Amino acid sequence: MSYVTDYPAAAPEIAAAHFLQRLNLETDCDDVHSAIKEGDVDFVLLHVVGSPEAFARRHIPGALHLRHRDMTAERMAEWPTDTLFVVYCAGPHCNGADRAALKLARLGRPVKIMIGGLTGWADEGFSFA
């Protein structure tokens, strides 16, 4: 046995349910970049950490700066209730996107996290605004 085979693989239907659940909660930098590049942005991209000055220095094109602590029912009422929000933070070492996603979900809003955040965006070689 090896570390790979110490535990048997899940049944295909269990694996399918697991990976579908992940895709329902996450997107990645390449998918967001492709949507922006193709002009097929059917979501609101939110930069959810840092100061306005840090956002002005570097953010993903098309993103709005809205920190999770500033997300209120009143503020989110600016968008239709079925608007999908894609949130990102600094990167894998940051939980700001998780906090924002939790807040949005508790406000009854559809939300996904862009895994990788700014670090992932840079790793892909995509440009910043």
Q: 62 by DSSP, 3-state: which? A: coil
Q: Is the pLDDT of residue 1 over 80?
A: no
Say whether pLDDT at 92 is over 80: yes
* Residue 99: closest CA among 83, 116, 111: 111
As given in the structure block, the two tokens for residue 18 are 């697991």
Domains and CATH numbers, the chain: 26-124 (3.40.250.10)
What's the pLDDT score for residue 13?
98
Encoded tokens for 110: 């559809």
Measured CA to CA in angstroms, residue 7 lies from 2, 15, 16, 17, 41 at distances of 9, 14, 18, 19, 41
Percent of the chain beyond pLDDT 70? Answer: 99
SS3 of 96, please? helix
Whether 2 has a pLDDT exceeding 90, the answer reads no
Q: Extract the tokens encoding 17.
A: 């349910």
pLDDT in tens, 34-87: 999 999 999 999 999 999 999 999 999 999 999 988 999 999 999 999 999 999
Question: Can you give the C-alpha Rg of the chain in angstroms?
Answer: 16
